[in-house]
Chain A
Amino acid sequence: MTTTPRWRALTQHHLFWPVAVLVVLLLINVPFTPDFFSIKMTDGHLYGSLVSIVLFGSPLILVAVGMTLVIATGGIDLSVGAVVAITGALTCSYISDRSDQDALSGVFLAMGIGLVAAVVCGLWNGFLVARMGIQPIIATLIIMVAGRGVAQLITDGQIITINSEPYKLIGGGYWLTLPFSIFVVAAVVAVTVALTRRTALGLLVESVGGNAEASRLVGIRSRRIKIMVYVFCALCAGIAGLMISSNTSAADGNNAGLWIELDAILAVVIGGTSLLGGRFSIGGTVVGALVIQTLTTTIYTIGVPTQTNLVFKAAVVIVVCLLQSPKFRAKVFGARFGSGPGANGSGTSAATPADTTPTTAAAPKMEVS
């Protein structure tokens, strides 16, 4: 056994397994797409599989980052998919009514209206959870079900197609040869990491998730924190909604963001955040979302028959979740990969509040991949 301390430290890092899975998934693509890792210039922007993965994965990363904070408080937000649909529907229907769809002021106003609607949805969720004491899964189910109806009402059951060059930028356009959505995601992730890890906010969120009542007794306004995370989550979903509708230049009330809540929860779990609340890892979530998007791309490229898509996806997710469990690793691979002195063996290798440095270090990593 030549277990160097460095290797040991690496495998026990909370991001090791998600990143390992991501790398393996990327490598699986190589035999099917020979120039999978090559990136070339096309029409003045970078083009390649990796660029597509980040471009199409951007909305999911945003939704998952918002979801991470909600889950860290011990809650869950099922309404994000509906919020995506509502934001896209409102924004696109406003833009489509303009005579000049390319006017910047109109586009900004439209995006503002959409995001305000998203924030209202978040306030409603937060109000039900924090003030009314309703179980988060029930409280957010209301908008999950009703919100899609609202979105269809706004679009009149039709797909609204718009033709606005400035609006196209946010989800489908390119800036400095890179998809513009990468910059939006990087900004949101950087702000989130800064707010939660450079200020006490992250600690407060975790303490509310750990024990809301105890946090209240020591003087943390746990209700306010809860409302805040639901609003933040809805805002992230709203930005994702702008991206999704901008990417296809159309608002589809029926299908936009359908089931994205489940993919987002999955991304959070793959990233090592405990569903019980109390601890979270933004970096892990970003990697988790990239794993899911890579998995989707892999299914398309390696030619899995459509009927078995979901089975394939399920198999990979099960493997990832098992690898995430220190107990499972200890049983299968022996103590080398299992719960060492540092890990706690509680089922998930989640980040601890002390993990500030690795988490912030993970943010720029996303831009590279």
Chain B
Amino acid sequence: MLNRRNFLTAAVGVAAATGLAACAKEDDSPAGSTSGGSKALVLGFSQVGSESGWRSANTDSVKSAAKEAGYTLKFSDAQQKQENQISAIRSYITQGVDVIAFSPVVVTGWDAVLKEAKAKKIPVVLTDRSVETSDESLFVTLVGSDFTDEGRRAAKILEKVLEKAGHKGAVKIAQLEGTTGAAPAIERAKGFKEVMEADHADDWKIVVSQTGDFTRAGGKQVMAAFLQSNPDINVLFAHNDDMGIGAIQAIEAAGKKPGKDILIVTIDGVKDGFVAMSEGKINAIVECNPLLGPQLMEVVQKVKDGETVERWIKTKEGDFMQDQAKAALPTRKY
């Protein structure tokens, strides 16, 4: 009995220590060079976590852009927990950094800590995701993607894809949605539908739509079922590349040619997506760019200098067709 209790105490102790270490996980990367003797701008950045390849590319971009700009970056990883993120922001306030930037884990619950920052006159910049707050003055701006617009762009690029393939007749679309309830899933579907209903109300139709949870396995399984119930599908719109890649495997298993028998448009632009596109299996990719570091640094400088900036600074993103895939492939970092 005593042994068991000791063991449990030890286990709890170890867990607590790991937790503390995680909270304290913060690395200071000093400015590359503080030119001219002036003090380098200090930026406190709290990241959501490292849940996907997209996210780690995002982190790398912020780190390298800060180094290039010569800022001192105080970086912390919230490991998908809001309390970690709040304590990181608090510590930035105490340290008196020049600007705080963060990618909020969740949408609500930020008022208290943002008010503390405001009281200390430290401007706050959001990246990638937004927050809901009662007081709009609590953050200066959001640097991030417009998911609804990505949906619209996907529909627009599908027009080009259909034209290029010389497609005639009804367009029967299968849609693979992202995780149910996630902002990118809701808004991408909304944007796509908007364009479809406005311009193609009579010839385009979404015949089946189901969530693939943003994963390859999900995309493959759902697409396999779609191909059984609706064998006449001729277009696939996937909310991210990974589901598209999974669906490609299902299409091949059904004896059809992805990119020819079924035209495929996806969103994100991860490396594997470009590989599939260069093999002719994806027809077009709408980029959702995680490399927003340089844009963020520009905004941070402006905010520091007291210039007014727009409330929402949209990430620079491109749309890619198959013929651009080979050229773009070596530049994909993530």
Contact = CB atoms under 8 A, between A and B. Distances in A.
A239 to B, nearest CB: 16
A42 B56 CA distance: 40
B4 A133 contact: yes
Nearest to A59: B217
B46 to A, nearest CB: 17
Interface string B203-237: 00000111101111110111011101100000000
Interface in A31-74: 32-33, 36, 42-43, 47-49, 52, 56
B213 to A, nearest CB: 7
Contact of B210 (A47, A56, A158, A300): A300
A256 B216 CA distance: 9
A120 B68 CA distance: 45
Contacts of A156: 56
A248 B220 contact: yes
| B contact patch SS | helix
Nearest to A298: B225
Interface residues of A, number: 39
Interface stretch (B161-169, B246-254, B287-295, B320-328): B246-254
B180 A306 contact: yes
Contact of B51 (A47, A254, A256): A254
A123 B213 CA distance: 32
A157 B228 contact: no
B228 A132 contact: no
Given A157-B51, A158-B56, A301 B229 contact: yes
B146 interface: no
B242 interface: yes
B272 interface: yes
Contacts of B129: none
A56 B229 contact: no
A244 B217 contact: yes
Contacts of B218: 255
Interface string A189-200: 000000000000
Interface of A: 32-33, 36, 42-43, 47-49, 52, 56, 132-134, 152, 156-159, 161, 172, 244, 247-250, 252, 254-256, 296-297, 299-303, 306-307, 309
Given A33-B229, A248-B249, A255-B213, 8 more contacts: A52-B225, A248-B246, A250-B272, A254-B52, A255-B215, A255-B218, A306-B177, A307-B180
